[in-house]
Structure 1
Amino acid sequence: MKLSEVKNILNTVEAVNFKLEDGSMVPEHFHVTEVGVVSKHFIDCGGVVRKEHKANFQLWDANDFEHRLKPGKLANIIGLSEKVLGMEDLEIEVEYQSNTIGKYSLAFDGKDFVLVNMQTACLAKDACGIPGEKQKINLVQLPTANSCTPGGGCC
């Protein structure tokens, strides 16, 4: 999800709620402790230099049980980040504490923002010798020429 999509959603919702893919909710007294830009400059295993820029939200579950982040307040924080940091309309990555700091992409289910689990991946599969995904076909699609048939005497 891009930053512009979050801003549009914040204009339509009454509350800001986050939940994990398993349906468990981020406690409603969470804080957004950071909104920023994360830049990554790296070389993949195939030797290709890459750059990646993402908008970053950090969620923190404090013991401030009376805290509730309103949509307008988060929109103001995002606006300030755009102005001060020159933040562009980037894909959003969310950091949230689980066993360690977890990184999630962001979706919206019509009511709540959803922290979507992210996976690592090889960016240079061809250079690593990782085979491509095998094409799946139904057995009925296999050619029947030169194949055994019941009673054909080939077995």
Structure 2
Amino acid sequence: MKISEIKQALAEVEAVNFRLPTGEYLPAHFHVTEVGLVNKHFIDCGGVERRETVANFQLWEAGDYDHRLAPLKFLHILDLSKKVLGSEDLDIEVEYQQATIGKFGLVREGNDFVLTPKHTACLAQDACGIPDHSLTLPQLQIAGCTPGGGCC
């Protein structure tokens, strides 16, 4: 999800609900404690220099059970963050405390904002000698499996 998409969604929803990948909702009294700009400048294992920039939201919960973040208040926080984020329509990543700080992507499903799993990956698989395990149609046919044959 991009900054423009969450702003549009916040203008349409009556409440701000975040849901974990497990389907469990964050407690309604969560806070957005940070909106930041994260620049990552790195070298992958194949020696390619790369850069990544995202908007980062940090979500946190305290014992103030009466707290509720209204959509308009969240929009106000995002407007304040323009000083840091600038005007680029960045992808959003979300941090949320679990056993350790979890990093998530973000999508909208109906009136909910859903935290999506993020995964590590090798960005230079060809340089690392990691085999490509994807099967092409000719490989399937050689193995005796053909389209419409009922084996797949």
Per the normalisation by structure 1, the TM-score is 0.87
Instruction: Give every structure 1 segment of 4 or more consecutive aligned residues whose post-TM-superposition deviation is greater than 6 Å.
Output: none
Q: Radius of gyration: which is bigger?
A: 1
Same amino acid, percent of matched pairs: 58
Aligned: 1:72 with 2:77? no
CA–CA separation in structure 1 for the residues paired with 2:55 and 2:87: 7
Letter in 2 for 1:107: V
Letter in 2 for 1:51: R
Letter in 1 for 2:97: Q
CA–CA separation in structure 2 for the residues paired with 1:117 and 1:140: 33
Aligned: 1:21 with 2:21? yes
Q: Secondary structure in 2 aligned to 1:141?
A: coil
CA–CA separation in structure 1 for the residues paired with 2:107 and 2:124: 27
Partner of 2:37: 37
Partner of 2:146: 141
The answer for unaligned runs of 5 or more in structure 1 is: 143-155
CA–CA separation in structure 1 for the residues paired with 2:42 and 2:145: 46
Letter in 1 for 2:111: K
Q: Once the 2 structures are TM-superposed, how far is the Cα of residue 140 of structure 1 from its aligned partner?
A: 3.6
CA–CA separation in structure 1 for the residues paired with 2:134 and 2:94: 33
1:51-87 deviation per Cα after TM superposition (whole angstroms, max 9, x unaligned):
10000000001111010000011111111111x1125
Letter in 2 for 1:112: D
Partner of 1:54: 54
Query: How many residues are paired up?
Result: 141
Letter in 2 for 1:113: F
Alpha-carbon RMSD: 1.4
Letter in 2 for 1:141: T
The 8 Å contact of residues 55 and 87 in structure 1, kept in 2 or not, is answered as no
Per the normalisation by structure 2, the TM-score is 0.88
Partner of 1:122: 122
Q: Once the 2 structures are TM-superposed, how far is the Cα of residue 104 of structure 1 from its aligned partner?
A: 0.2
